[in-house]
Structures are given as C-alpha cells and as structure tokens.
Amino acid sequence: MFDHFTLDEVALDDVRLRVRHGGSGPAVALLHGHPRTHTTWHALAPLLARDFTVVCPDLRGYGGSSKPASDDSHAPYSKRAMAADIVQLMSALGHERFSVVGHDRGAYVALRAALDHPERITKLAFLGVVPIGEAIRRCDARFATEWWHWFFFNQPDVPERVISADPDAWYLRDGLEARMGQENYRDFLAAIRNPATVHAMLEDYRAGLSVDRAHDEESVREGRKVTCPTLVVVASKEGDDAMYPELSTIWPQWADEVRIAYIDTDHHIAEEDPEGLEELLHPFLSV
C-alpha cells in the first residue's frame, strides 16, 4: 500500500498530523471523510503520483493524527481549523500553492480551505453534493430520515457510549474488507476501535451543525466565493443529488468556475472506482 510514498508525522502549531506523501509534480492534498483515514486513498494516490506530488493526511482527530481537546463551541474541530492545518502542513512540506481534493467531511475542509486561503489553493475538487450550510438550509423530512446520523451525532455523550460500546457493530458491513483492501481495512479498524477517535469524529459533526454552519452563512453574507476552478464529483449510486434538483444552480453561488461530474459509484468513490475517479481528476488538476 502506497508504494514509494513516505509516512511521516508532522508537528503543526497545535496538532500533529500523520501523513503520507509521494510522487512529483504539482502538489495536491487528498482529504478523507468519516469514518476513514488517509488510507482510503491507497488505490488512487499512486495513480495521481505519476504526475503530481500527492499528500494524504489524517485530518485532526482522525486516524493517527492528534486529537485536541474540544469545547462547547466545537471550534477545535471546525472545518476552518482543519483547513488551517492543511495549509500549514503543505507549507511544512514545501508546497505554497496546491490543489485540494476532499471527500465527505474532507470535502467540507477542502471547500473551507479554498474560501479562507484563496491565495494558496489552485484547484478544488469537492467529492460530495453541497456545502454544509446549503444542506442544513434545505433540511426537510427526507434529509432528516436519510441523514439522521448528523443529528444523532450532535447529541452530547450518548453517541460516544453507543458507538464505542461495539464499534464493529456500528461501522462494519458484510464484504467491507474486500471492498476496502486489507491494509486500508486494518487502519480503519484501529481508528473506529479507539474511543478518542470516535469522540473526535463526533466533534467534527457537532462542529458541522454549529460553528461550520455559522462560517458558511458568514461566507454567503459576505459574498465570498471560491475563485479557483472547482470540480464537484457526485456519486450517482448514492442518490443524494436527487435531494438537490437545483444542484447546478447552487454551486455557481459558491464558486466562480464550477463543473459538476457524475461517477457511477456509491459513497466511497476512491475505494470503489479509483481508476474512474483518476480519469476525472487528472485532466482537471492538469489544466
């Protein structure tokens, strides 16, 4: 897994991030989602590394990265804090300008990086559907039914007790190891079986409904938009785009130059079809 990549732990201002990096060429950061670690990119990263320098960190709180204490505001797990981590990390690795690709929760970090640090981000690939603020603004019975975990995870204490009582029962599904690959699966197991990681991942979600939502609303009020080219990749089998029939009108409000592409997978795009995802990302990142 990750042949010819280097595994490091990089100290930043208030966290240490576990990161793999390799390849050569223009830099691109790949940001994973919940409940994965950076190893979710194990099949995609080597494909991109033929023409790009690829950096795959564990976000703060996830996997092997440090898990700072949180507070009632959940700001230590805001996407703004996570985006600042990524900008610092890329500087530490010698990359002042870079593209960013984010999936699931990592997509929100990628978006916030592009909004907060436009001078640093050259391309944004958002592997998801819509920004957090747009999802919450449109929350209805269907959203609450299909994405109920957002609201369960937002409750104090109870989610930690429920999940960590039997994390395998909560997260594992038949055939998951075969779909993920053995080493990726092992890294995932180590993460979900660590109560500190479970708590941190839940803080990520709690931040989503509070401080992240406020930051999104602030960006809308200020008219701030992503200024770099943006690619939104939607997993067609997941079906979440059906919740947003106005998808093609939402994103131009967030990005000056945006293209929406579809890929025939379910949620974990990079694990299910790394070659197909690389075919979408490579020309976008190369231009």
Mean pLDDT score of the chain, rounded to an integer? 97
Whether 125 maps to a domain, the answer reads yes
Mean pLDDT in residue range 182-192: 98
Active site residues: 104, 267
Confidence at residue 212, expressed as pLDDT on a 0 to 100 scale: 98
pLDDT at 230: 98
Q: Is 163 a domain residue? A: yes
Peptide bond into 229 cis (omega under 30): no
- pLDDT score recorded for residue 90: 98
Domain assignment present for residue 44? The answer is yes
Q: Which of 171, 174, 165 has the alpha carbon at shortest distance from 188?
A: 171
Q: How far apart are CA 28 and CA 76, in angstroms?
A: 24
Measured between its terminal Cα atoms, the distance across the chain in Å is 28
- Give the pLDDT mean for 24-33: 98
Strand order in the sheet with 98-103: 6-11, 16-23, 53-57, 27-31, 98-103, 121-127, 230-235, 258-263
236-273 residue pLDDT tens: 999 888 899 999 999 999 999 999 999 999 999 999 99
156-161: long-range contacts, CB 8 A cutoff, minimum separation 24: 159/202, 160/195, 160/198, 160/199, 160/202
pLDDT value at residue 71 = 97
Task: Provide the CATH number for the domain around residue 225.
Answer: 3.40.50.1820
The whole domain housing 277 covers 6-286
1 located within any domain: no
216-230 pLDDT per residue, tens: 999 999 999 999 999
pLDDT tens by residue, 110-141:
999 999 999 999 999 999 999 999 999 999 99
CA dist list (Å): 119 to 98, 115, 122, 281, 286 = 10, 10, 8, 21, 18
Q: How many domains does the chain fold into?
A: 1
Q: Is 271 exposed, middle or buried (0-12, 13-18, 19+ CB in 10 A)?
A: buried
